[in-house]
Structure 1
C-alpha cells in the first residue's frame, strides 16, 4: 500500500528562490515534485500596512508521512518571516501516480 499523497502550497517573492527551495526539497527526498504556477498578485495587511505584491506560487507534492518534515524544512529554507505553508490530503489520486509519488520520497 502506498502512503497517502498530500499537497503543500506556498508562495515566494522571487522565482529563483522558489526553484532553489523546490530543488532542495526534491534532492532531500522530502517531496517528489513541484509545480511552479504563473506569478500572481497577493493583497494583504502586514504589520498594519496594506501590501500588494507579485508572488510565485508553488505546489509541492509529497506523502502524508513526509508532510510534517517537508513543511518544517520549507519553513527553514523560506526567506519570509511568516510564509504561507498550507497542506491538504489528496483524497483521490490515480493509483499509479500515488505509487510513483510514494517511491520518490524517503519514509
Structure 2
C-alpha cells in the first residue's frame, strides 16, 4: 500500500502550547506542518461537570507511515489528561504537495 497523507486534529488550552508542541513535532519530522486555527469555543462534560472553554485547534499534516508515532508523541507532549487526537487519511492530494509532505517527514 502506498504511503498517503494523513491529517491529525487536536485542541490545546493555549495558543502558546499549540505552537510549542507543533514546533517539536515538525522539528522531529513527525509532521510536515501545522495549521493553527482560530480559537474555538468548546463545550463538553468532564468529571461530571459541564464545561465551556476557549481552545486552540490545530490541524497537523503527516504521512500514514508516521501517524502512529506522531499521535503518540503528541499525546506525550500534550498538557490535557485526555486530549482529543483524531486522524484521517486524505483520499486525494495534489501530487506535488504530496511529494513535499512526504519529504518533510522522511527518516533520512
Secondary structure, counterpart of 1:45 in structure 2: strand
Q: CA deviation at 1:106?
A: 2.8
User: How many residues are matched?
Assistant: 107
> Runs of 4+ in structure 1 displaced over 6 angstroms?
none
Q: 1:22 and 2:19 equivalent?
A: no
- Structure 1 residue 3, shift from structure 2 partner: 2.4
Counterpart for residue 43 of structure 1: 43
Q: Trace 1:1-107 onto structure 2 (pairs within 5 A).
A: 3-107=3-107
Give the distance between the partners of 2:99 and 2:3, measured in 1 at CA. 8
* Offset, 1:103: 0.3
Bigger mean CA deviation after superposition, 2-11 or 88-97: 2-11
Structure 1's unaligned 5+ residue stretches are: none
Q: TM-score, normalised by structure 1?
A: 0.97
What's the TM-score once normalised by structure 2's chain length? 0.96
Deviations 1:44-81 (A, max 9, x none): 00000000000000000000000000000000000000
The whole-number CA distance in structure 1 between the counterparts of 2:62 and 2:45 is: 31
Q: CA RMSD in A?
A: 1.3
